[in-house]
Every structure is written in structure tokens, then in C-alpha cells.
Amino acid sequence: MAPVLLAAEASAGTSRTLTITLFLIFVAITLGITIWASRQTKTATDFYAGGRQFSGFQNGMAIGGDYMSAASFLGIAGLIALYGYDGFLYSIGFLVAWLVALLLVAEFLRNSGRYTMADVLAFRMRQRPVRTAASVSTIVVSIFYLIAQMVGAGALVSLLLGIKPDTEFLGMNANTAKIATIILVGALMIIYVTVGGMKGTTYVQIVKAFMLMTGALIMVLLVLAHYKFNLSALLGDAAAQSGKGDAFLEPGLRYGVESASASATFYSKMDLLSLGLALVLGTAGLPHILTRFYTVPTSRIARKSVLWAIGIIGTFYLFTLALGFGAAALVGGANITAQDKAGNTAAPQLAQQLGIDYLGGDSGGAIMLAVIAAVAFATILAVVAGLTLASSSSLAHDFYASVIKRGQASERDEVRVARFAALLIGAVAIALSIFAQSLNVAFLVALAFAVAASANLPAILYSLFWRRFNTRGALWSIYGGLGAAVLLVFFSPVVSGSATAMFPDQDWHWFPLSNPGIISIPLGFLFGWIGTVTSKETDPEKYAELEVRSLTGHGAH
Amino acid sequence: MPAPAEKYLEVQRSDEFAQLRHRLRTFIFPTTVAFIVWYSLYVLLSAYARDFMGIKLIGNVNVALIFGLLQFISTFLIAWYYSRYAARNLDPLADDIHSAIDKAPATTDGGKS
């Protein structure tokens, strides 16, 4: 099989034009939907919760759209293509996590909250400090995640459009194209959120999820057909092409790597456990996922939407398994790393190869590449829109309306501030991403999950299920879990002191793990417990109201 | 509309609500512990039992892959089983309590919700 580099010379022009055309079609459709949605958005409930009129299936798709980021699609497929089995560990953590959301969070949140995570956390607490804390943690998680996605988009654009360091495209070199992409992605997400609110953003998620699932399905079918639907043959070929043999099909090439040094091996394995824990406990604390549960009419439909989401997301992660091993077998690790060392182009390269083999040679390859590249951009765009919406909602509803205006803000005022907040957060995210674009910030996705698991999840679970929980407990678990996760990562090898660090030339690290979860998650729970038992505050009446409402749906918004 | 605070306290203390809470908690807490232990076992084996995970079962399909796929299957099954359990054992009881709150006047203030 001839080695194929992305956007090989002959088809580079066609593919590039097609990618841009397809992407512009997606943008045009979603902007149309956004403008339509803005006409339907009149009340605060419309803006924050899409009018609570989405069906279980629609919201399930939208959850998938919010959740299946470029890190899932390109990142996991790339990890599997380069490191084999270990990429699968990520998918499994990301999927199992949904059981936490289903069993412990979704329905109770829907029943007792209104627009944001803080509605539940502050239900029986002193409003201002708890809402401030929840808002801080929501914004920190969202900004980390936003930067990772936007910098990723910038890095992808030159790869997917085939802009090489020494060439120019529309008068831009690779570096200016990167910055232009970050600004474009940022501007579009601000428009989706400020104009369309939750209703527009939800439809963007649905369209994106549909495109992503369809694109991935076509590729999976082609890969499987190539091996006559014999999974073992696909795995065997992938292992042989990888040059690593059977080890490619076993855990240990990327995470928990065994080396000559006993302490390095120990820490590497602890890191794997720490990552696994953050993945499985982080999802149910992600603000942009939590706000999704408010977009349906009842808690039963919220349950149904999580069931749909589990089905859609689970299927998608099974797809990535075939995509990753398919890319390893049909494109080959060397060709992938020649394009991108991190493997993010494995899926697009596989698409191109499949197009060449099955859809009529070079032009077929160019078409497939363009389709998948456009899907990848749509994926990033939808995720950043969801994040911007969740954080601006919290800034307006929690911080502005409750903390600054002490609950006296009018609905119109609140929505006006939410739109302005989206603009502000979008601008900050663009500025930070441009500053960070030359740094390795891939760890920020894992950090966002770790903060969500360490700060948000303990506070949510204690709030819902522990009668004694109080204001101090909530503050300590949020600030304690958030502080622990961020500080440990700041002193970890992903920020300084290693070749792949954010600041590779500096070294102030003393914490040996890249993932803080194994320490910071128990700390978040512990801080919440200590804070609670050292404070005398209790409010049995408000807890009765919270418990009865969360279990029965009485008085639900 | 939310009901007065005394009403919620009264409901919270009722036998019906205690039963709803009991049915809910005896399902969700043990199930959560079970799937977290099951998932942790998978991660631990991936870290520490690589020879076992590498045993080939059918062709190139090894224990690690089967174990991973079992995590998918267990997730789907738990989700399905929970929705069935909730529809049969939780939802009707929750509905009863919900409508009782609206119907019965609160004993303390007699006001409507």
C-alpha cells in the first residue's frame, strides 16, 4: 500500500477547497438555526434552558454533541492508532462515567435546580458565598476546557488544510492560520451563544452529533469491510503494521509504562489509576453537561436523555476502536507521526486512505478527507459553544443575579448580562488561547475532568444526599478540591520539568504524577466533610424541601 | 409551585416517602459501588496484570479487549436495568407522593401550595 500523507500534493487543492466549502455549509446551516432560535428565545428559561421543551432523544443527541469533543474523536482515534490498546482505556472511562450521571445526578438536578449547577448547591445554603464558589469552579473548568479545544483547533487547521510551515494559504502562513482559526472559532461560538442561547446551541449540538456519528459510521463500515468483518484480522494487521506486535493489543504502551526504574514504573501506574478515576468521576461534574439536564420538561425525560446519550456515546467509542486500529493497520504509525506527533490526524488520514481505496482513487480520498476534516471542525465548534453557554449562564445567573444583585435582577436584565458574559468569556478564551497556542496544553482536558471530579462532584453528591451538609462544607469541598487539583498539576511534570511540559525549559515540579485525581478527589470529599462537621449550621426544613422535590419532582421548574 | 416548608418536612417524615427513599438508595448506592469496583478492577488489571490481559482468546482477541468490551456491556445493562427498576418501583410511588402534596391541605397552615 502506498504511503499517504495528508492532503498529498495532487489532491491538496481539491480537498482544501472542499473542506472549507463543507465547513461553511455547516456554519451557514447552524447560523440559520441560531437566528431562528433567537426569535423563539424570549424568557430566561428559553435562554438558559432552551424552553425545557427538548425530547429525550434530542437532548441525548445534544449531550453526545457536547461530550464527544475533538479530544474524543481525533484524540482517542490517534492514541489507539499510535499506542494501540491504551487509547481504549480513555473511551471506557468516558463511557462508564455516564452511570454516575444517570444514577446519582441527572434526575435530582433536573428536579431541584433551575438553570445552573449552583441552583442545587446553594439550595439550602447561604446563597452568595456558595454561588460565588460554584461560579468560580464552573468558569475555571470551562476556561481550561475551552483553551484546550481552541488551541487544538488552531493546531488542526494547518494539518487538515495541509498548510505546511514554508507555504502560504490565503496569504497566511501556518502560524497566522492558527491564530486566525482560534479567532474564527471564538467568534462563531460567541455568536451561537449570544444569539441562539440554549435553544440554538442545542440544535447545533444535535446537527454536529448527527454529522459525527454518520461520518464515523461510514469509516467504520469501510474499515470492517476491508477486513471482511473479521475483527481478529483487523487487530492482527494493526499489530503487525505497528511494529510492536502483540504488545500493541495489550495495555502498557502509553499509560502505566514499565521501565527499568522501579519508582518511575510505580508513578506511571499510579498515574494510570489517577487518570481512570478522574475520567469516571469527572463527567457528572462538568458544568456544560449538567446544564443539559435542564433543557427537558421533566426528570423522567432527563433520565431518558441520559439513556440515549449512553447509547450514542457508547456506540461512538466502539467506532473509535475500529478507527484507531484501522488507522494503525491501513495508514501506519510512521505515516501518522510524520503528520502529527500526537496522532491527531490519524482519523482524517484514515478517511483519505479509505477514500482512495474504495471511492475512486485520489478524488475519492480528497472527498473523504474533506468530509472528516469538516466534521472535526464542527465537533470543536459545538463543544466550545456548549462550554461558553454554561460558563456565561453561571456568571449571569449565579454571580450577577444572586451575588451582586442579591436576587433582585429582572429576568430581562439577567439574560442581557448572560449575553454580555458570553462575549466576555469568549474574548478571554480567545486571548488565552492565542497566548497558549505555542505551548503544549493538551493536559488541560484531563485537568478539567479532575477539577470537575474533585470540586463539583463532592459538593453535588453531599448536597443531594447528606442531610447535615452545609455552607462551609460546600465552600471547602469546592475551593479545596479545585485548589488541590490545580496546585498539584501546576507542580506536576505536565507544566514544567519534562520534555513535553507546557514550559519544557523550566523545572519547578515536585509532584510526580501528571493526573492529580487520585489525591485531589479524595481531598475534595474530605474537605467537604471536615467543613461540614466543624460548622453548626443546619437547615432541616430546606433539606426536607430539597429531598422531597429532588425525589418526587414536586415544585420542579 | 413549591409547597410551604412545614409541608415538605411532613412529607419527608411520612412512611411513603421513607419507602421511596429506601427503594431509591438501596438501588443507586450499591449499584454505584458495584460498577466503580468493576471498573477499578479493569483499570488495576490493565496496570498490574498485563500477562493475564494479554492472553489471547479467539484469534487476536485477547482478555484485555474482552474485558474492555464487557465494560461497555455492563454499562448498557446497568442503564437499562435502572430505567426498568425506576419505572416500576420508583416512578409510581413518586407520583403518588407528588399528587398527595398538592391535594392534601398542609396541616399547619391549611394553605395551598
Counting residues of chain A whose pLDDT is more than 90, the rounded percentage is 74
Q: Which residues of chain A does B25 touch, with a Cβ-Cβ cutoff of 8 Å?
A: 465
In-domain check, residue A519 = no
The length of chain A in residues reads 557
User: Residues A237-267: pLDDT tens digits?
Assistant: 999 999 899 999 999 998 888 888 889 999 9
Residue to mutate among B16, B75, B80, B102, with most A CBs inside 10 A, is B75
**Under a CB-based contact definition with an 8 Å cutoff, are residues A145 and A124 in contact?**
no
Tell me if chain B has a CB within 8 Å of the CB of A308: no
**Under a CB-based contact definition with an 8 Å cutoff, are residues B61 and A231 in contact?**
yes
User: Which secondary-structure segment (H or E) carries A63?
Assistant: helix A56-67
Listed by number, the residues of chain A in 513-542 with a beta carbon closer than 8 Å to a beta carbon of chain B are 540-542
Tell me if chain B has a CB within 8 Å of the CB of A556: no
pLDDT over 90 at A464, yes or no: yes
User: Residues A522-545: pLDDT tens digits?
Assistant: 999 999 999 999 999 999 999 999
**Under a CB-based contact definition with an 8 Å cutoff, are residues A389 and A193 in contact?**
yes
pLDDT over 80 at A161, yes or no: no
Which pLDDT belongs to residue B1? Answer: 61
Which pLDDT belongs to residue B108? Answer: 47
> Domain-by-domain residue ranges, chain B?
5-103
pLDDT band at A12 (very low <50, low <70, confident <90, very high): low
In-domain check, residue A527 = no
Which pLDDT belongs to residue A438? Answer: 82
Distance from CA of A370 to the nearest CA of B (A): 31
Bridge partner list, A390:
none
User: Nine-digit cell at A326?
Assistant: 484501522
Supply the range of the domain harboring residue A77: 9-253+287-437
In-domain check, residue A373 = yes
Is A269 within 8 Å of B20 when comparing Cβ atoms?
Answer: no
Residue type present at position A51: G
**Under a CB-based contact definition with an 8 Å cutoff, are residues A101 and A306 in contact?**
yes
- Helix A174-226 to helix A361-393 angle, to the nearest 10 degrees? 120
pLDDT over 90 at A388, yes or no: yes
Which pLDDT belongs to residue A210? Answer: 95
Distance from CA of A552 to the nearest CA of B (A): 5
In-domain check, residue A58 = yes
CB atoms within 10 A of CB A311: 17
Closest-CA residue of B relative to A299 is B91
Contacts of A219 (CB under 8 A, 6+ apart): A319, A322, A323, A326, A347, A350, A351, A354, A368, A372
- DSSP labels for A360-376? THHHHHHHHHHHHHHHH
- DSSP labels for A222-235? HHHHHTTT-HHHHH
pLDDT over 80 at B112, yes or no: no
pLDDT band at A7 (very low <50, low <70, confident <90, very high): very low
Q: Which residues of chain A does B31 touch, with a Cβ-Cβ cutoff of 8 Å?
A: 99, 103
Mean pLDDT confidence for B17-42: 97
pLDDT over 70 at A10, yes or no: no
Nearest to B98 among A104, A235, A553 (CB): A553
User: Residues A402-439: pLDDT tens digits?
Assistant: 999 998 989 899 999 999 999 999 999 999 999 988 88
Which pLDDT belongs to residue A363? Answer: 85
Closest CA to A106 of A312, A283, A303: A303
User: Residues B31-67: pLDDT tens digits?
Assistant: 999 999 999 999 999 999 999 999 999 999 999 999 9
Of A12-21, A470-479, A495-504, B99-108, the range with the lowest mean pLDDT is: B99-108
Query: Could you give the angle at the alpha carbon of A388 between the alpha carbons of A382 and A389, nearest 5°?
Result: 90
The number of distinct structural domains making up chain A is 1
Mean pLDDT confidence for A171-182: 83
Tell me if chain A has a CB within 8 Å of the CB of B63: no
Query: Could you give the angle at the alpha carbon of A110 between the alpha carbons of A37 and A34, nearest 5°?
Result: 10
Which pLDDT belongs to residue A311? Answer: 97
pLDDT over 60 at A44, yes or no: yes
In-domain check, residue A149 = yes
User: Residues A473-522: pLDDT tens digits?
Assistant: 999 999 999 999 999 999 999 999 888 899 999 999 999 999 999 999 99
What single-letter DSSP state applies at residue A344? T
Is B101 within 8 Å of A552 when comparing Cβ atoms?
Answer: yes
State the CATH number of the domain containing residue A392: 1.20.1740
User: Residues A269-315: pLDDT tens digits?
Assistant: 999 999 999 999 999 999 999 999 999 999 999 999 999 999 999 99
Residue to mutate among A98, A250, A541, with most B CBs inside 10 A, is A250
Residue type present at position A382: A
CB atoms within 10 A of CB A245: 10
